[in-house]
Structure 1
């Protein structure tokens, strides 16, 4: 396997550099999809696209068992050096390169020998609804084990270490608007001050309390009201709320309390406040056997001393919808230590690119181990059935 990795190293770095330099935001990954499709078809893989969205699926082999790899393909929209632009500051460019590398190595070593390998290039992870769209298309219905990868920042794990699971939290992004009446600065009684309404809402949200044993938060992340005229009291405004919790149960309780807070403030201030969910991400639901297989692959790649425990992180990841919506799928994500700094979503995020090969090797080994695990399990099940008869 090491020889295969060395052979593909220049190819993978070229793939990474292209993807890094051509980022595209969620649901607009058109050129990214075209590039991946052209590259993978040139390498001889069977590639399936979608008529109504970006993203791809690569299938090798057929039938059961079916082992899956998934990578996200979208970039963030953020300010970089004073200019707003698409930017791969969450590592999705690296994830794509790692999964492409895994495909190349697995083909070189003849995997799968039986069954099916399915690789999903998923759009719109940053919107929190890319996984849901592919689930609705039936893309993952036949997958037994599904693996993902995510670069981890130095605050969570040191370079050279890898974790067999990422225990992401749940998240909801909410968008709201306040509809009141503007008033003259000298006559505040004739309208509703959206800024004062927002102050009430900030206070109401800060008084929310749920189970303190489960990390959680609800906070305002944006508010806009008023214009250039300082003598006009703004009656309208828009805002956003970010809600997070380490479990799906607690975030549901938080959402109930947030909605009650909004309703109570609207009644008190005599204004109309609308609220909608713009993004929704589930907390991690990992399978213990998948975690054990990933841990074994990490130890085989970097040694037991560099195996880190599962990472608990408040960040969200829509990968976990695959197991939430399709409970038959056994899944986990590789947490890859790679000297990532200053942090995820920082406009100047950078990491040690030598980690690309480490990620490729770990994912390759976990796929091989998963096929072998299922083959042994099926053989034992057949043996037990014969014995019972």
Structure 2
């Protein structure tokens, strides 16, 4: 019965994806589903999403949080741009709901509080911070997330006790100057040439090579239909990746030094219009050990693999960065996922959701 219900949740979400911060119907669906199952969910005050408490939250009792992300990506599928669950958030929600149904009447809840959080806007990297602002994290002792893993990271039937994501950042900026006639290149600075020098200098950034990192220009818009105009304006974007938060700080410092230097060299204004990103994982060993034991309980020792180190990102790690005392980690679930996360036609073995649900359930049982 639990499996049928969680698969019903998965199928509904998969068929009705909603973009980040637009998960209105998704929130309503989960809320009503949980109400019908006898839970008492609470919608967030200022954002989409919701949470639901079960168990005993009396002082002295351990409180464990379990998170599902509920938003979808925006991408082209079959020639149509639309919301699409190609990152597995529909699966994450189904597993967390399944865990709720399994733990609902367990005696463990007499001495343990569990807060299930359905978080919006993970794909924007802002949802976790919004949930923090809702004031529902401070009371947690443990916090567990879950994410499907591509087959090159975890085989079907295997699981990892933590996903060690890297930090990711985006810097958008404008090169601001004046256009000039193609016959008079001395009257302006060609924004394309300015941007080319920025690209070349980005490739000269050298920081500790032992810690993986990368920086590259991923957006450059300049010029127009008239080829006899030398453009003075360009809209640019840079993608940055680093395995640690300290490495990211160094990387961003070098990028801003380059932008400042090029601006002075060409005597043009370089205006930063957006500086955003997500932090690298700072998992807690106690949480990793808790998930590891739960994987062993469900799948066996031989199916528990080492922590997964990946250059991808997830805003779940804001929780442990904002609350260093919080014992947080993410379960990585092998499920024959291919060809990869964020691929518009991503597929995985749906039966693996039972493994994920069982592991989350055992994590609650194993917490002291």
Band of TM-score, shorter chain: over 0.9
Would you say 1:291 and 2:285 are equivalent positions? no
Alignment partner, residue 244 of structure 1: 241
Alignment partner, residue 144 of structure 2: 147
Would you say 1:51 and 2:48 are equivalent positions? no
SS of structure 2 residue aligned to 1:253: helix
Determine which of 4, 7, 10 is the counterpart of 1:10.
Answer: 4
Alignment partner, residue 29 of structure 2: 35
**Aligned-pair CA distance for 1:108:** 4.2
Alignment partner, residue 195 of structure 2: 198
**Aligned-pair CA distance for 1:82:** 2.6
Alignment partner, residue 75 of structure 2: 78
CA distance in 1, matches of 2:263, 2:151: 43
Q: Contact conserved, 1:146 with 1:332, CA < 8 A, in 2? A: yes
Would you say 1:169 and 2:166 are equivalent positions? yes
Determine which of 304, 329, 333 is the counterpart of 2:330.
Answer: 333
CA distance in 2, matches of 1:363, 1:276: 41
Q: Contact conserved, 2:2 with 2:98, CA < 8 A, in 1? A: yes
Q: TM-score, normalised by structure 2?
A: 0.96
**Aligned-pair CA distance for 1:45:** 0.9
Would you say 1:20 and 2:5 are equivalent positions? no
* Structure 1 outlier segments of 4+, above 4 Å: none
Any gaps of 5 or more consecutive residues in structure 2? Answer: none
**Aligned-pair CA distance for 1:324:** 0.8
**Aligned-pair CA distance for 1:21:** 1.2
Higher helix share: 1
Alignment partner, residue 208 of structure 1: 205
**Aligned-pair CA distance for 1:247:** 0.6
Any gaps of 5 or more consecutive residues in structure 1? Answer: 1-6, 374-389
**Aligned-pair CA distance for 1:48:** 1.0
**Aligned-pair CA distance for 1:83:** 2.3
**Aligned-pair CA distance for 1:110:** 4.1
**Aligned-pair CA distance for 1:50:** 2.2
Determine which of 98, 105, 121 is the counterpart of 1:124.
Answer: 121
CA distance in 1, matches of 2:179, 2:75: 32
CA distance in 2, matches of 1:354, 1:301: 14
Would you say 1:255 and 2:261 are equivalent positions? no
Deviations 1:192-237 (A, max 9, x none): 2111111111111111111111000111111111222222222111
Q: Contact conserved, 1:153 with 1:338, CA < 8 A, in 2? A: yes
Alignment partner, residue 225 of structure 2: 228
CA distance in 2, matches of 1:246, 1:254: 11
Determine which of 308, 311, 316 is the counterpart of 1:311.
Answer: 308
CA distance in 2, matches of 1:217, 1:76: 24
Q: Contact conserved, 1:172 with 1:277, CA < 8 A, in 2? A: no
SS of structure 2 residue aligned to 1:222: strand
Alignment partner, residue 94 of structure 2: 97
Alignment partner, residue 380 of structure 1: none
| Structure-2 change in CA distance of 1:278 and 1:49 (3 Å) | farther
Tell me the matched-pair count. 365
Q: TM-score, normalised by structure 1?
A: 0.91
CA distance in 1, matches of 2:274, 2:303: 40
